[in-house]
Amino acid sequence: MRPPGPLTPTATRIHSASQPSCRSRQRHGHLNADGTIAKDAFGNDLGGVRSPAVDVPIATYYDTNVPLPGDRGFCSNTTVGHVEPFSVARLKQLYPTHADYVSKVRTDAVQLERQGWLLPMDVESTIKAAIESDVP
């Protein structure tokens, strides 16, 4: 069942998208020869539906937890994944000015909206978060 109103195009695209097989993704370069997920230059996963967080990165995002102090061979950390923020020097290298960072986030978010992956309200909040950030 599709939601009514402006959600329909995105919802339709998401609900109708078929999950490619591992073999299909491997042909498209999203898996390494050993079956592990390929990474971009920043260490973030390739493939799937990208977002400004990975297209205009300020960190590397991992799908594994980091052990908490006192963990003995078992990660008791209940959160899923962890983030390693880029250093200030790396951020300045990628985005010489705050305006440059915001412009790249805006461009990516608008493109994702045109492709049907983001809603207008998501684009607005993504751009607002970039404007309010301290990058770089």
The pLDDT profile of the chain, 136 residues, written as one tens digit per residue, is 444 444 434 444 444 344 443 333 334 457 888 888 888 899 888 888 889 999 999 999 887 666 656 655 555 555 567 788 999 999 999 999 999 999 999 999 999 999 999 999 999 999 999 999 999 8
- Can you tell me whether residue 106 is helix, strand or coil? helix
Element (H, E) at 90: helix 88-94
**pTM for this structure?**
0.67
